[in-house]
Amino acid sequence: MIDEMDASIRSFLRDSVVNGEVEVAFDAPSSEWAAKRTAPTLNVFLFDIREDIARRRVEAEPVTNDDGVVVGRRRPPRRFKLSYLVTAWTQRPEDEHRLLSGVIKAFLSHEEFPREQLEGSLAEEALPIFASVGIPPPPERSIGEIWSAMGGELKPSVELVLSVPFALDELRHAGPPVEESPRIQIDARDGPSESVKGKRPSKADTADEPDSDQIEETFTGGGEDSPGRRFTVSTIPRKR
């Protein structure tokens, strides 16, 4: 998934910011890498990966067949924040500043990563990829420490953060749909047993509650010599 995001970023930057003479690289911008650079380059270095807790979803999503019947449930995708350090490398500071300005303008125009620029399986993902540029870093992280860890010299940079969904292939199959009314057998220690059978509600009974998530069936059991008991069974419809 990360490699597909890298390819998508390269495609987007080539179409929106740079021309054919400027390369897009994902190497760590260390002093060794800078010494080997031979062409103007826009460097997009992935330096941090962590889950996007604020957008976590925990409820399972229903999976339906062509008839709209729920056949299983799948855990929702987990989102991860991919943080990139974007720097420009040319012979003149003016050109570097122009490239960084282009990066900021391009991503400010798209709060969601352009779907037509997505590569691989990301293009088939229904959930959007959120993009933010230039946001202040969290207190536990400083840009100066990042440059010191890479052993390079401090340069003007822009932080790009993408919230990317990671799909989970875990599918929990649902049981077959209920086609019969419920049957309940109650055995008493000192008395007669009770056997009751529910009555499935008709369409007329539920027509006034089209948006209800549950259907309630009420029935009474017992014989001629016993007062009987009243039962209420709530069932969840299989169709969405």
Tens digit of pLDDT for each residue in 167-222? 777 667 766 666 777 676 666 566 555 555 555 555 555 555 544 445 555 555 55
- The total number of structural domains in the chain stands at 2
* Residue at 189 is within a domain: yes
* Residue at 67 is within a domain: yes
Domain range spanning residue 68?
Answer: 2-172
Which one-letter DSSP state was computed for residue 177?
A: P
Whether 184 and 167 map to the same domain: the answer is no
* Residue at 240 is within a domain: no
pLDDT at position 240 is 47
Whether 73 and 185 map to the same domain: the answer is no
Give the pLDDT confidence of 117-169 residue by residue, as tens digits. 999 888 888 889 999 998 887 777 777 778 777 777 788 999 999 999 987 77
Give the residue, 19 or 210, on which the prediction is more confident: 19
Whether 137 and 87 map to the same domain: the answer is yes
Last residue of a domain, one of 172, 198, 219: 172
pLDDT at position 212 is 47
Ranges 79-88, 91-100, 149-158, 175-184: which has the least confidence: 175-184
Question: What mean pLDDT comes out for the span 110-123?
Answer: 90
pLDDT at position 127 is 87
- Which residues, 6+ apart, have CB-to-CB distance to 42 below 8 Å? 13, 17, 18, 22, 23, 24, 25, 86, 87, 88, 89, 99, 103
**3-class SS at 144?**
helix
Whether 137 and 225 map to the same domain: the answer is no
Last residue of a domain, one of 147, 172, 197: 172
pLDDT at position 208 is 53
Closest CA to 164 of 58, 78, 230, 238: 78
- CATH number, domain containing residue 19: 3.30.2000
Buried b (16+ CB within 10 A) or exposed e, 98-110: ebbebbeebbeee
Whether 117 and 226 map to the same domain: the answer is no
Whether 48 and 28 map to the same domain: the answer is yes
**Mean pLDDT rounded to a whole number for the chain:** 78
Whether 168 and 184 map to the same domain: the answer is no
Whether 184 and 79 map to the same domain: the answer is no
Residue 19 has pLDDT above 70, yes or no: yes
* Residue at 216 is within a domain: yes
Cβ count near 96 (within 10 Å): 18
- Which residues, 6+ apart, have CB-to-CB distance to 38 below 8 Å? none
| Percent of the chain surpassing pLDDT 90 | 35
Whether 167 and 222 map to the same domain: the answer is no
pTM of the model: 0.66
* Residue at 66 is within a domain: yes
Whether 48 and 152 map to the same domain: the answer is yes
Give the residue, 231 or 132, on which the prediction is more confident: 132
Question: What mean pLDDT comes out for the span 62-67?
Answer: 75
Whether 156 and 81 map to the same domain: the answer is yes
Whether 104 and 129 map to the same domain: the answer is yes
